Chains A and B, each alone.
Chain A
Amino acid sequence: MTQFTGCPGSKMVDFREKDVSPRGEATGKIQSQLRQWPIQLHLISPAATYYQGADVLLTADCVGYALGGFHPDFLKGKSIAIACPKLDEGQDIYQEKIKSWIDDAKINTLTVLIMQVPCCMGLLNLAQQAAREAKRKVPVKYVVVGIQGEIQKEEWA
């Protein structure tokens, strides 16, 4: 088999054989921690009440599917928006919305959840750029999620 040389974000990986032991399975129904709609960054209004003074998650689209404990471990108690730094257009609008969260909605913190693939770093770059341009300052954290759902890094930016 030849070595894959394509974009790491599109590299095909099959982990169906991954061990899913009983301890990794949730018992009972998992309560959704989502407390708003819409969630897509183009659709949300930064002025929505649920962003005022909130701890906000800015999550790359794929994270919600990769991260098993996304709802209880990260979404609980937070407001959210999702985006894809690779495929979405109009990312200058994204940057303005993030700035508006910081300056107008006066959010408390911003946590950026991205996948390990290189293109996902674009979402963190976007958030950091917006945070630098905002008049207010807020703590920005980032979490890198591996394609098999493991937390690879969790740090303050």
Chain B
Amino acid sequence: MEAYLNRSIKKVIKEFPPVEKILDEYAIGCGPCAVGLCLLKDIVSIHNLPADQEQEMMGRIASVIHPGREIQIPRTERKAEAQPRELKYSPPMKKLVDEHVLIKKWLALIPGILPTLNLESGGDRQLIREGVDFIRSYADKFHHAKEEDILFKYFDENLDLVKVMCEEHKTARNHVKAIGEALERKDRGTVVRRLNAYRELLSQHIKREDEIMLPWMDKQLSVSQVGEVFSRFLEVEERMDSCQQKYGDFISRVEKKYKRKED
């Protein structure tokens, strides 16, 4: 069967005329094509039928080519990515949205952490210290720096949208600074209050970025500018190579710990 998949459709149909009718039934009308150079496997792949229909059709073709034999149907390479689909973001914007996912995971953990937070415990102090480090290094130095130092530079700094986003980054930094200082004083009340405020601020901030700002910016940038932004983001990622792995591991570790507590 493999050999026939790599044969031009005209040759397959010439040798096995019923194949034309089978293709026809799946709206693959190769019969009248004057060229017929496409390989059977490419035709199957390009038309991208639903998997069950493709299997059924290939089974019927196999039974024509090898009547009475049980044939293993080789899987054609399905190229789902090539199918037109709804895509909201350009590749650099998608990177930012994906980074938001990790930040949102941290925000989602905060309500579970705070009720039993005991700053007399070394373990809890370490957790908040690591959380602050995650916010400063991943959310701020890595992620917000991409936004402020690269993406926003393509827009007028006096634009309200940009100004608001930068202002919220500043407020977030103030919360984080206050959390760090309160942690040293073992001031539980301030840590809890500021972490909650940070969570509320960032949840709304990310939602606005994902749903309004990034799609809008995407529409304003030219193809060439999208390429530039993408390439400059890659430079940041190379420079801070270990960042994503390190903080991804941190979030997974905390998620496991608090999931166990819930169970």
Q: Judging by beta carbons under 8 Å apart, are B224 and A108 in contact?
A: yes
Residue of B nearest to A144 (CB): B84
List residues of A whose CB falls within 8 A of some B CB.
4-8, 10, 55, 77, 86-87, 108-109, 111, 118-119, 121-122, 124-125, 128, 137-139, 141-142, 144, 153, 155-157
Given contacts A138-B227, A156-B94, 19 further A-B contacts (CB under 8 A): A5-B32, A6-B31, A6-B32, A7-B29, A10-B35, A108-B227, A108-B228, A109-B223, A111-B223, A119-B46, A121-B82, A125-B45, A125-B79, A138-B231, A139-B91, A139-B230, A141-B223, A142-B84, A156-B89
Chain B positions 13 through 30: 1 when the CB is less than 8 Å from some CB of chain A, otherwise 0: 000000000001001011
Question: How distant is the Cα of A124 from the Cα of B84 in the complex, in angstroms?
Answer: 10
List CB contacts (< 8 Å) of B74-104 with chain A. 79, 81-82, 84-85, 87, 89-92, 94
B226 within 8 A of partner (CB): yes
Find A139's partner among B30, B48, B92 (CB 8 Å cutoff): B92
Q: Judging by beta carbons under 8 Å apart, are A7 and B30 in contact?
A: yes
Question: How distant is the Cα of A30 from the Cα of B195 in the complex, in angstroms?
Answer: 60
Q: Judging by beta carbons under 8 Å apart, are A124 and B31 in contact?
A: no
The secondary-structure label for the interface of chain A is: mixed
Total number of residue pairs linking A and B with CB closer than 8 Å: 86
Interface centre among B38, B85, B91, B223 (most CB of A within 10 A): B223
Using known A-B contacts A6-B29, A10-B34, A128-B82, determine if residue A139 contacts B46 with beta carbons closer than 8 Å: no
B159 within 8 A of partner (CB): no
> Which 9 A-B residue pairings sit nearest by Cβ, starting from the closest?
A108-B227, A109-B227, A6-B32, A6-B29, A139-B91, A5-B29, A7-B33, A155-B87, A125-B82
Question: How distant is the Cα of A81 from the Cα of B46 in the complex, in angstroms?
Answer: 22
Find A77's partner among B38, B42, B82, B224 (CB 8 Å cutoff): B224
Using known A-B contacts A77-B224, A118-B46, determine if residue A156 contacts B91 with beta carbons closer than 8 Å: yes
Q: Judging by beta carbons under 8 Å apart, are B91 and A86 in contact?
A: no
Find A4's partner among B29, B81, B228 (CB 8 Å cutoff): B29
List residues of B whose CB falls within 8 A of some A CB.
24, 27, 29-35, 37-38, 42, 45-48, 79, 81-82, 84-85, 87, 89-92, 94, 223-224, 226-228, 230-231, 234
- Chain A residues closer than 8 Å to B90, beta-carbon distance: 139, 141, 156
Question: How distant is the Cα of A4 from the Cα of B29 in the complex, in angstroms?
Answer: 9
Question: How distant is the Cα of A136 from the Cα of B29 in the complex, in angstroms?
Answer: 39
Question: How distant is the Cα of A55 from the Cα of B89 in the complex, in angstroms?
Answer: 19
Q: Judging by beta carbons under 8 Å apart, are B34 and A118 in contact?
A: no
Question: How distant is the Cα of A122 from the Cα of B45 in the complex, in angstroms?
Answer: 9
Residue of B nearest to A9 (CB): B33
A-B CB contact pairs (8 Å), 11 listed: A5-B29, A7-B29, A10-B34, A118-B46, A125-B79, A128-B82, A137-B230, A155-B85, A156-B87, A156-B89, A156-B90
